[in-house]
Amino acid sequence: MSMLELSLYILDIAQNSISAGASIIEISVDEDTGSDLIIINISDNGCGMTEQQASRVDDPFYTTRTTRRVGLGIPLFRLAAEQAGGKLTVKSRPGRGTSVTASFVRSHVNCLPLGDISGTLAALIRLNPNLDFCYRQSLDGNSFSLDTKELRRVLDGVPLDNSEVVSWIAGYVNEQIELLSGEGNAKPGQNDLK
């Protein structure tokens, strides 16, 4: 049992952050063709884990959640990374939050596609409009970002779960991904919010 896109793993780990009481979730996807790597990091300011809890994150029958009895997200994310020549690390401190970092060899036959990252981000923001999400994606040194704190400032009271805002978020992320990959006409970040 595995997911078919990396964006679904990002969604699952971000949901763990939300369940851990995080108010800020930072997500980054860094691709480097020179080193042939994709590095994904999801960090939060949630309740964190003790060393004992963190040592058990690979046990699918152990979870700190009370809503379900198994925790498959991190074990499956680790498996996906390892099957693509990479690895996964978890760093956590009680009261400080958790950081999950996975690396993948881009050219590896088992490296999953990033998938629908715009839909993933739009869903996370729409369903959790009072939380702060900061997303950054880079390819060979070019990057773009989306920060809900900045969005709130620009929107001046329009809620993040407004359907037009959610649609704009998905469109903006898709446009920036196209620019990163060379499919657009402008440079990444050129149309960022000011």
Residue 146's CATH number: 3.30.565.10
**What is the arithmetic mean of pLDDT over 72-96?**
92
How far, CA to CA in Å, does 39 sit from each of 73, 103, 114, 152?
Answer: 17, 4, 11, 28
Q: What is the pLDDT of residues 149-181, one digit of tens each?
A: 999 999 999 999 999 999 999 999 999 999 998
DSSP H or E segment with residue 152: helix 148-155
190 assigned to some structural domain: no
Q: Is the pLDDT of residue 123 over 70?
A: yes
At residue 139, the 3 state secondary structure works out as strand
The per-residue pLDDT for range 8-55, each reduced to its tens digit, is 999 999 999 999 999 999 999 999 999 999 999 999 999 998 888 777
With cut-offs at 50, 70 and 90, classify the pLDDT of residue 60.
low
Q: Is 41 a domain residue?
A: yes
pTM exceeds 0.85, yes or no: yes
Say if CB 48 and CB 95 are below 8 A apart.
Answer: yes
What's the confidence (pLDDT) of residue 2?
55
Instruction: Establish if 188 belongs to a structural domain.
Output: no
Domain annotation covers residue 185 = no
For 111-148, b/e burial (b = at least 16 CB within 10 A) is: bbebbbbbebbbbbbbebbebbbbbebbbeebbbbbbb
Amino acid, single-letter form, for residue 36? D
User: How many domains, in total, are found in the chain?
Assistant: 1
Share of the chain above pLDDT 70, in %: 85
Does residue 192 lie within any of the structural domains? no
In a domain, 42, yes or no: yes
Is 194 within a domain?
no
Indicate whether 152 belongs to any domain.
yes
pLDDT, one tens digit per residue, over 4-14 is 899 999 999 99
Q: What is the pLDDT of residue 172?
A: 97
- Position 70 scores a pLDDT of 38
Q: How many CB atoms lie within 10 A of CB 177?
A: 19
Domain hosting 113: range is 6-180
Tokens at 47, concatenated: 């309740």
